[in-house]
Amino acid sequence: MPQFHPLQSNFSVGTTLYIDTEARASDLLETATHRIKAARNLLNSVTCLCVKDAEGHDLEHFASAAHILIQEGCDALDALGWKLEKTAR
Total domains in the fold of the chain: 1
In a domain, 83, yes or no: yes
Nearest to 63 by CA among 35, 39, 38: 39
Residue 7 lies in a domain: no
pLDDT digits (tens, 9 = 90+) for 47-59: 887 777 777 788 8
Position 57 scores a pLDDT of 83
In a domain, 71, yes or no: yes
Q: What is the pLDDT of residue 53?
A: 72
Is residue 80, in this structure, part of any structural domain at all?
A: yes
The 10 Å Cβ neighbour count of residue 51 is: 8
Tell me, yes or no, whether 17 lies in a domain. no
| Range 62-77 average pLDDT | 95
In this prediction, residue 3 carries a pLDDT of 95
Residues with Cβ < 8 Å from 42, sequence gap 6 or more? Answer: 62, 65, 66, 69
Residue 59: what pLDDT?
Answer: 84
| Residue 64 placed within a domain | yes
Q: Give me the domain span that covers residue 76.
A: 57-89
Res 14 pLDDT > 80? yes
For helices 58-88 and 25-48, the axis angle rounded to 10 degrees is 160
